[in-house]
Amino acid sequence: MRTISPQFIQDLKSGQLSFFLNQTRHDPDICMEIRKDYISMYYKGGCALRIEQRGKGYSFHFDSKYCLNKGNDEKAAFFEGL
């Protein structure tokens, strides 16, 4: 079963992770999917970011293929404000 903790849900809705949920609500290129004990953030179909709860905090695993390339900033909007 795909679940995240009640605290994780609260942080997504109105806490320290709310930025990420808001991005998925306002950008059709971004999708958030709940997995077992973590969430994945997809950008244009590829998994760009994984967020896992670690105790009272969170760890972030960023896929380096989404790093900006010199002369190509089409992905920059997704990462502004992080």
What is the domain partition of the chain in residue ranges? 6-79
Asked if pLDDT for residue 82 goes beyond 60, the answer is no
Residues of the chain with pLDDT > 70, as a percent, come to 78
Q: Which residue has the tokens 């190509």?
A: 72
For residues 29 and 74, the model is more confident at 29
Question: Which pair of tokens denotes residue 36?
Answer: 């077992």
- Residue 8 near residue 1 (C-beta atoms within 8 A): no
Q: Give the residue-averaged pLDDT of 32-53.
A: 93
pTM: 0.76
Digit-coded pLDDT (tens) for 16-26: 999 999 999 99
**What DSSP state is assigned to residue 67?**
S
Q: Which pLDDT belongs to residue 3?
A: 87
